[in-house]
Amino acid sequence: MPLKSPLFSIEHCSLFLVLLLLTILTFAGSLIVGASSVGWKDLLSVFVGQESEMAHLILLEIRLPRALLGLMVGFTLGLGGAVLQGYLRNPLAEPGLIGVSGAASFGAVITIYTGAAGLFALALPLGSILTALFAVFLVQLLAGKNGGSLRLILAGIAVTSFASALTSLALNMAPNPFVSLEIMFWLMGSLADRSFEHVWLVMPFMIIGWALLFKLGRSLDALTLGEDAAQTLGFNLKHIRHLMIIGVALSVGAATSVSGSIGFVGLVVPHLLRRWVGHKPSALLLASGLGGAILLLTADIAVRLLTTGTELKLGVLTSLIGAPFFLFLIVKTKRNTMS
């Protein structure tokens, strides 16, 4: 009975229908927009099984994996952002906060730097995911034994800074300008030229991560009352933190490994959708995931439409739009607390 699940309550039914519809539309849009002239007529021909060989190649081998990854990465970032904001009870939190994205980026950079990425296609995402998991182990260790969130943030900042320093070091020591250029471009974040291999590699990590994060819904609701009250409602803070960290590491680590770092989606989407689910953290999870998918697919379509000569990178676009929005949020938050 999906309608009775707390993630999908009847009161917000129309919102979820709209989000679902938009997800399907942007997904389809991602399939029909591109450099070649293959469009919606060809997409329809695929459905009836009468597509040309050219359309088959472009739609199913090039654009479909890209659209799927856009969907999955966007969903991960939206969901991760909603979980982090709920867990820290802070509307300015984002999934990169606990160090996972920084570490995943560094892991990818290392595979480019050493040349492993050129040897076989999956070396980069694999190296990236492994580094992310290692970083999480480190963050857990640094964050201490009691379930508090302050040390976790500090540990996340420390790991992120260190990973970014190591990334800079790799750039600094790059054997030739092509390597540094490749690293730079990868760091900007993109979904271009990804294949089904990437989809299959990251999917299991993401699905397990999502499952862990969705389990947190009730705990996040209880945390609305603060950590003490949540504990006396029967929730174990340490258990919550473990689930959260591992869930974010698996899903966001996998997302970063395949797309590079894509900023602001995880920050902006939960913030925009919160009022539509009555500010309830558990109801925000699915909504924010779908919202993230919609935003990222839209941005990825925009990137393709705007690209003329040099490809505009997806992460650049999201940051270009996201940073001013972030500033707007800060100004607005300040005004609210002052009044």
Partner 1 sequence: MTLLEAKNLSVQLDQKTILEGIHFHLQAGELVALIGPNGSGKTTLLKTLCGLLPAQQGKITALGTPLASIPRQQLAKILAYLPQGNESHWSITVESLVMLGRLPHQNPWQTPSNHDKEIVCQALKACDALQFKDRPVDHLSGGEKARVMLARALAVEPKILLADEPVAGLDPGHQLEVMERFQQLSSSGMGIVTVIHDLTLAARYCDRLVLLYDQQVLAEGIPEKVLTTKNLALSFNIQAHIGKMQGLPFIIPTSVAHPNQE
| Binding-site ranges for partner 1 (CB under 8 A) | 4-6, 9, 89, 215, 218, 221-226, 228-229, 231-236, 274, 278-281
**113 or 235, CB closer to partner 1?**
235
**63 or 274, CB closer to partner 1?**
274
- For the CB of residue 338, give the shortest distance to partner 1 in the complex, in Å: 15
**83 or 317, CB closer to partner 1?**
83
**37 or 337, CB closer to partner 1?**
337
**234 or 309, CB closer to partner 1?**
234
- For the CB of residue 200, give the shortest distance to partner 1 in the complex, in Å: 29
- For the CB of residue 58, give the shortest distance to partner 1 in the complex, in Å: 42
- For the CB of residue 4, give the shortest distance to partner 1 in the complex, in Å: 5
- For the CB of residue 274, give the shortest distance to partner 1 in the complex, in Å: 8
**4 or 335, CB closer to partner 1?**
4
- For the CB of residue 91, give the shortest distance to partner 1 in the complex, in Å: 9
Terminal-residue alpha carbon distance, the chain: 44
d(CA 157, CA 314): 24
